[in-house]
Every structure is written in C-alpha cells, then in structure tokens.
Structure 1
Amino acid sequence: MDEADVSRLGRSIERQAENALDLVGEPGSLIQIAIIVGAFLLAWLLARVTHSALEEQARRIKGAPGILRIVVAFMRRLRTVYFVVLLWAATLAEAALGMAPQRFVSIALSLSLAYLVISVASRIVRNRVVARMITAVAWIIAALSILDLTTPVANALDLAAINIGAARISALLVLKLIAVIAFALWLANVVGRFLDRRVQGYEELTPTLRVLIGKLLKIGLIVVALAAALAGVGVDLTALTVLSGAIGLGLGFGLQKVVSNFISGIIILLDRSIKPGDTITVGETYGWIRELRARFVSVVTRDGKEYLIPNEDFITNQVVNWSFTDELVRIDVKFGVSYNSNPHDVIRVAKEAAKKPERVVSHKEPVCWMTDFGDSSLDFVLRFWIKDPPAGIANVRGQVLLALWDAFKENGIDIPFPHREVIFKTPLKVDRAEAANLATGEAMSPPLPD
C-alpha cells in the first residue's frame, strides 16, 4: 500500500465520518432513537406474551411440512417480526401526519427487515452452522449497502494487498474467491445430487454402472465449478500450473492410502466385481453391500452392524461373492453316523430331510456322499442349494441339521460320540478290602482326620 492509496482511504473515511455526524446532528434524532428503543422493548414484550398462543396455533398445522417449516422460522424470530411491524407502523404514521421521513427509523427498519428475510430464507439449508454463516455474511453485505458503505469498505479491502511477483492479492480478492468458490461448490453439489438421482432411476443400467456414472458426474461438476469460480474472480489459471503440480505431488505422497482406496473404488466399479445388493464375505465379515462409496464399501451384516471396508481390501484380499454370477448357492453339511447304520439308508434319509426346509430349492436335488471311515463314525457330506443367500447361511444350515436329527430319530439311526480308552502301562496296586467293596457296590467311607 503506497502513500496515494493511504491518502485515498483517509479521505474516504473522513467523508463517511462527516456523513455520520450530519445524521446524528439532524433535528429530532433523539426522538428517532427513542422510537427505535421503544419499538424494540414493545416487540420484546409482545413476543413474550403471544409466543405460547401462536405456538399452540402452529401445532395444529398438519400435512403441510413446507408451510410448517416457514411458520417455525418466523416463530423463532417473533421479536424481530414485531420490531419490523412496529417500525413500519411508525413510518406509516409519519407519512400520514405529513412529517418528513426519519432517517434513523428508516435505516433501522431496513436493517431489521433485511435480517428477517435473510434469516428465514437461509432455512432452506439443512445444516444450521452453514445457515448461520450464510445469514451473517448476507446481512453484513445488506447492511453495508443500506448504510452506503459498500464502496468505501470495498476500496479499503482492495488497498490491503500484497504483491507476489506479477500477481497482486488483495483482501477483497480473497473474500470474493471464498464466496464464489463456496457458491460454486454448493451449486455443483445440488446439481450433482439431482443428476445422481436421475441416473439411479434408469433401470436399464446395471447398479454398478449407475453408481460409477453418478460419481463421475459429481467429480466432474466439482472440477468445473472450481475452474469457473477461479476464472470468474479473475485468477489466471495458467499461473497455477506449477503450484497445482507441486500440491498434487505432495498430496500423492501424503495421501497414498486415500488415493489407493479412491482408485480401487474406480476399478471395482469398472470391473463390476461387486455391486449394491450382493452378498459377500470379506475375512470374517459376512453381509450384503448397501452402498459403494469413493473410499469405502458399506457392508451390512445379519446382526445390523454396518462395516465400512476400504476399497483397497476388495482388490488385495480374497472376497467371496455369493451372488456374483448366479443367486444359487450350494451349502455343505457334514455329519457322522454309527457303524451299526446302513450307509444306503443314511443317504436316502439325509436327502429326504434336506428337502424339508422352505429355503432349499426343489429343482436341484440334494446329494449325499459317504466321505470317510472315521475313528468312531461313518462320515458323510450333505449338499443342497438355496437361492437367497442375503437371508443368511447359518439359519438354513441349522434347519437342515434339525431335520436330519428328527429323521435319524425316526429311522433309528444313531449319531455316535467319541469313546476313549485309557490304558495304564504300570499296574496299580489295589487294596483287597477296597476291591471287595467296589465289587459289591459299597462305597468306602473316607478316613477320619487326625
């Protein structure tokens, strides 16, 4: 900032100070201030008195959420509503009496009305923090415009600048850049969500392709919005080439996992190895895919837990997709029977028992094979098919096991349990009296303590 800029800024501040002193020195300024203070106190009193009754009336609104939302927004600013109404009535009374317009009252009315309109309009934003930020910024801009301070403040911000080579960066440029980028990103997000919903509605496309198109649209809109915002403010995009390259290199090293998960997500969407609705097993996690994100995959298990598994795990680890190409899934149940059982009868009974649960498909017959002569049993494996793996695997396996138990009981087939023989290589010395008692079934009484 050179001496000429400082001189211009000083003269601008002096003019604004003179205008403020002239405004305060106007006749009746104290009366105007008294009217404003009285209107504020009366508005505060009316808000306290009528808030309960108006809230009771608002609760009766049914079936119109949009209207109810607007009513609630006004209810939370009831004091400001009364204040605006009272100041407006004061200006109407002045006009009716033929009095000159009172500048203090007009300014207070304009400021309060601007705040009321902006704060109510910002309710369209769901996030309260963002809504409050929008309200504050918009009201400050409106207040500067009402007080005729827009040009002096803009000049002051433009004078507060630094020079970096041939580029001049001022506080005004930074504020404009922040505002334009925020609006552009918000608009890109809104348009991206709208287009994503439209794409998800096309049943002709596969679920994986719908997700991929939606993500590419969102990313493309964000990139275009950033470029348009920078160009709109006047930033030379060619000057950012070297800087963006350095930032990209640093982000590449610092965010390797994030970039890896992002690229893995793109690969998953392109090769269509998994898609929303598939039933999968990753490690010890069994569930179905709820959503594919840019960084992770949301997997919901049978117990209601939602696991956010990084995309990289689906590329580097083994993944069992129970419904990749076909919904039919074969389940194996292993069991053993006594050596006294007839293996042919066991196979017949087991196949009939596997057909009883409803989830077992009927067009693919169950099969049962004898697999081994075990230590204490004849070992078999029973194989059957289901077509709804998202409904669970353990529950249908349990139903088949119960059906096997009932069928074996009805047909006199025993399920053995292991027997163990303990052989002592060193003979034990047994007292004759104790052996006689054991032979007759009498228990020896323990010796009495000394």
Structure 2
Amino acid sequence: MDAEIAVISEELARIWALLRLQVQNLALPSRLWQLGVVAALIVAAIAFARLVQPRMREWMRGLENRPKWQLRLLLTINRRLKLIFFTIFVWIALWTMRGITPYPSRSYILAMVASLALAWLAVVFAVRLVRNPALRSVVRWGLWIWVTLYLLGITDEVGRALDRVAFTLGEFRLSLLSFLKVIVLVSVLLTIARILSSTSAERIRRNESISPSMRVLVVKMLQIGLYGAALFAALRIVGVDLTGLAVLSGAIGVGLGFGLQKVVSNLVSGVIILLDKSIKPGDVISLGDTFGWINTLGARYASITTRDGKEYLIPNEDLITGQVVNWSHSNEFVRLDIFFGTAYHDDPHAVRRIAIGAASGVARVLSTPAPVCHITGFGGSSVDYILRFWITDPTGGLTNIRGNVYLALWDAFKEEGISIPFPQREVRVVNDTLRVETGADRDNGP
C-alpha cells in the first residue's frame, strides 16, 4: 500500500511539474497580451449573449409546431450562446493574428484557447444524444476534462496516476481509469444502440407485412440485443475479465429470481402474448369490469384505454391466467343483443319487420350481416323479442350504439302504433262480508 501511495504521489508531482511549465509558458512577456485579448473576447461574448438570448427565446416561442429534435437543438444553442460567441470570436482573432504575423509563438495562447473552445463546444452538442440528464452531465464533464488534458499534453501522466488507484479482489482488478473508461464507453455505446434501435423500430412499425404483435416482439428483442451488446462490448474494450464475475452474477441472479418472481412472470407472459398473438395492439378486450382497447404492449404490462379516457396498466400475467374477452381476435365483427317486448294484440310479424328496419337505419349498424329479430317467449304481460345486430368498431362504444337502437325502436313503434306494455296488477276482494274498518268506525265503537 505504501509503495502504491508513493507511486501515485510521484505521478501527481510529475503532473504538477508539467502544469507549472504550461503556466510559465503562458506567462511569458511576449504572450501576456494574448491573455488580455482572451479576457476581452470573453467579455464581448457575454455581452453579445445577453443581448441575443432574450430575442432568441421570444422567436422560439412561435416554433411550437416544429419537431422536438429541432426545438432541443435550438434550446441548446440558446443556453450555450456565450461559448458559441466566444468560440467564433477567438477563431476570428486567431486567423487575424496569423494573417498579420507568420510567427506561431505570437499566437500560441490564442491557438490553444481556440482549440479548447471548439472542442468544448463540440462536446456540448455531442452529449445531447445522451437522454439521461445525470449521465449526460457526467459524460460532458468527463469529455471536457479529457480534451483539456489532451490539448495540454498530459493525458499519459494523468492516465498512469488514475490507473494506480485500483480495487483488487482476487484476480479481478478495477482501477479508477478503467472505471472512467467504462462509464464513457458505456454511455457512448448505449447512445449508439438507442439511435440504432429507434431507427430500426420506426421502420419495423411501418412494415404492414408484419403483424402488430410481431412488430412489438421484434422491437423488444432488438432493443435487448443492442443494449446488451453495447454493455458487453464496453466491458471487453476496457479489458474487464467477465469470467471472474460469473459466480457473483449467478448468485445475484438466484437472489433476484426469488425476489422478483412476479416481474419475471410478467416478462415471460409478455413474450408468450406476443408469440401466440392472442392479444395485439388495437384489440378491444374485456377483463373483469375493464373494457377498452390495447394501446401498447410493454415488457411488464399492457396499457388499456377505456371509453372514459382512463388508462389501465394490466400486468401481463393477468392476461395469461385470467379470462379475457377479445372482441376483435379473429375478425372485426362484434354482435350485440338487445331485448324488448310488445303487447299481445300487436302482430309479431310486423313487430319483427319494424324492429329490423329501425336497427338497419342506425349509424354503425352493419347491413351485412343484416340485423335479425326473434321471439324468445311469451311473458306475463308481453311477447318477448331479441334484436341482434353487428358492428365493426367496438372502440366507438357499446352502450351508445345500444341506446341509439333503442331510440330507433321507440320512434318506429310509436309511428306504427306498436305498444310496449308494462306490468299491471289487479286486486279483487273475494269475500264480500269483510269490511274495511275506517277511523270513524273505530271512534263510534261497537
């Protein structure tokens, strides 16, 4: 341990000596005026940014209909106007200085600052591809530090110092340098994997020759494969020996298996649903009291949107083990039944004809298959009928179409003189000797 600390101290001392040499080079009398130019350019960039930023924000408020990536790019430009203006100004100053004098030493500081500003600006726009804000900040600061050290020429010394700070467990060794490389490489490769998966997923979703459930399955498998390959490649590039983690990962896997049984069950159920195509996005289903259409099929749950705008997240396991009514599984036709009754003195043949005509005139009711009406029995006060009709858009609602058909029946029966009876009861007193005792009788007494 003492030897490691001594080596690290030696590397830090060497880095400090190189930094002092750089500062001494910058402090030469022939170069001090360049520092003044850089300071003036910083002030000018801040002044221009404060002048342009409010106007640019006001202009951006009228671009709400633009694509999101354009808005994010404009927002990034607005936030980094100071760095953008400074980069432009310092490069103009450098080109002007090189046009005046052919001696590179007279523009040494301007050249270094211009290179740093351009590299930092490129990092700002490159890290926008990383969506996670915390990870984006880590990658941005890491790349800023790396390009600064690279342009100062001390990356090898800093790398050796970071490599000395390591954690060792048996044959497994993880240094601070390897850890930083893993973070950067994983971020870069995951970003590339996300871009590839998003582009491929968009093309797969537009492919009409593939069933909707198969599209979801292909997209999920593609994302898992790309992200897993990115993580594995990053670890292998850095030089991490994954065989040493096999036992540890196996133990962790067993523990997670017991603790996350429901999660794993939902994941497996989701894969089964996508493979057997029993439920797919766009299907109209009923599960218990929930009636709606499948919005999305996720890895853990299915999103069901109901007619009242509520969105239910149903675990995939419930869709496998529970009784699910899929209204559009094999075809788009959905049959609905309504029941009614008419008086005994009405002609049942006319009632059937009028009911079929009334249902056929309602919007959303199909003419093929045509509505049908049948007598189901002779009730206590009415002849009972069932009217059956078909629709192809259950997502438009079932209660409203039934209500429209009932209203059509009411109007048609009223126009044709068909009566809809209601239960009536008649009470007869059989024994005439019984007398109903009134209040007056009780007052008069016997």
Q: Deviations over 1:311-349 (max 9, x none)?
A: 111111111111111222211101122344343433332
1:430 to 438, 442, 446: 438
Cα-Cα RMSD: 3.4
Q: Deviations over 1:163-208 (max 9, x none)?
A: 2112222112222222222323222222222222333333222222
* AA partner of residue 76 (structure 1): R
* AA partner of residue 164 (structure 1): L
Matches within 5 A, 1:301-340: 301-340=306-345
Q: CA deviation at 1:41?
A: 2.1
Matches within 5 A, 1:121-140: 121-125=126-130, 130-140=135-145
Q: Secondary structure at the match of 2:377?
A: strand
Distance 1:364 1:422, change over 3 A: same
Partner of 1:44: 46
* AA partner of residue 9 (structure 2): G
Q: Would you say the 8 A contact 1:111–1:146 is kept in 2?
A: yes
Q: Secondary structure at the match of 2:272?
A: helix
Structure-2 separation of matches of 1:50 and 1:185: 35
* AA partner of residue 20 (structure 2): L
Structure-2 separation of matches of 1:240 and 1:83: 48
Q: Deviations over 1:374-394 (max 9, x none)?
A: 344332221122233233222
Structure-2 separation of matches of 1:87 and 1:127: 32
Partner of 2:403: 398
Q: CA deviation at 1:162?
A: 2.2
Matches within 5 A, 1:265-344: 265-344=270-349
Matches within 5 A, 1:24-43: 24-25=23-24, 26-28=27-29, 31-43=33-45
Structure-1 separation of matches of 2:399 and 2:248: 56
Q: Would you say the 8 A contact 1:350–1:382 is kept in 2?
A: yes
Q: Secondary structure at the match of 1:307?
A: strand
Structure-2 separation of matches of 1:244 and 1:123: 33
2:355 to 350, 357, 361: 350
Partner of 1:78: 81
Partner of 2:390: 385
Structure-2 separation of matches of 1:167 and 1:351: 80
Distance 1:63 1:335, change over 3 A: closer
Q: Secondary structure at the match of 1:364?
A: coil
Of all paired residues, the percent bearing the same amino acid is 44
Q: Secondary structure at the match of 1:354?
A: helix
* AA partner of residue 182 (structure 2): L
Q: Secondary structure at the match of 1:300?
A: strand
Answer yes or no: is 1:374 the counterpart of 2:379.
Answer: yes
Partner of 2:180: 175
Structure-2 separation of matches of 1:22 and 1:365: 93
Matches within 5 A, 1:192-211: 192-211=197-216
Distance 1:384 1:92, change over 3 A: closer
Q: CA deviation at 1:145?
A: 1.2
Q: CA deviation at 1:370?
A: 2.5
Structure-2 separation of matches of 1:60 and 1:287: 37
Q: Would you say the 8 A contact 1:91–1:101 is kept in 2?
A: no
Q: CA deviation at 1:137?
A: 2.1
Q: CA deviation at 1:97?
A: 4.8
Distance 1:231 1:80, change over 3 A: closer
Higher deviation after alignment, 245-254 or 87-96: 87-96
Structure-2 separation of matches of 1:238 and 1:67: 44
Higher deviation after alignment, 185-194 or 272-281: 185-194
Structure-1 separation of matches of 2:162 and 2:200: 39
Structure-2 separation of matches of 1:58 and 1:219: 37
2:236 to 231, 248, 262: 231
Contiguous gaps of at least 5 residues in structure 2 = none
Partner of 1:445: none
Distance 1:360 1:75, change over 3 A: closer
Partner of 1:160: 165
Partner of 1:243: 248
Structure-2 separation of matches of 1:326 and 1:74: 52
* AA partner of residue 366 (structure 2): V
Q: Deviations over 1:86-138 (max 9, x none)?
A: 43454456542566336554443333232222213334556655544432222
Distance 1:86 1:230, change over 3 A: closer
Partner of 2:420: 415
Structure-1 separation of matches of 2:220 and 2:344: 61
Q: CA deviation at 1:352?
A: 2.6
Q: Would you say the 8 A contact 2:11–2:161 is kept in 1?
A: no
Structure-2 separation of matches of 1:102 and 1:342: 107
Distance 1:163 1:282, change over 3 A: same
Structure-2 separation of matches of 1:326 and 1:366: 18
Partner of 2:12: 13
TM-score (norm 2): 0.84
Distance 1:376 1:149, change over 3 A: farther
Partner of 1:439: none
Structure-1 separation of matches of 2:102 and 2:218: 66
Q: CA deviation at 1:210?
A: 2.3
TM-score (norm 1): 0.84
* AA partner of residue 82 (structure 2): R
Q: CA deviation at 1:231?
A: 2.0
Answer yes or no: is 1:150 the counterpart of 2:151.
Answer: no
Alignment coverage as a number of residue pairs:
433
Distance 1:149 1:382, change over 3 A: same
Structure-1 separation of matches of 2:5 and 2:213: 61
Higher deviation after alignment, 32-41 or 120-129: 120-129
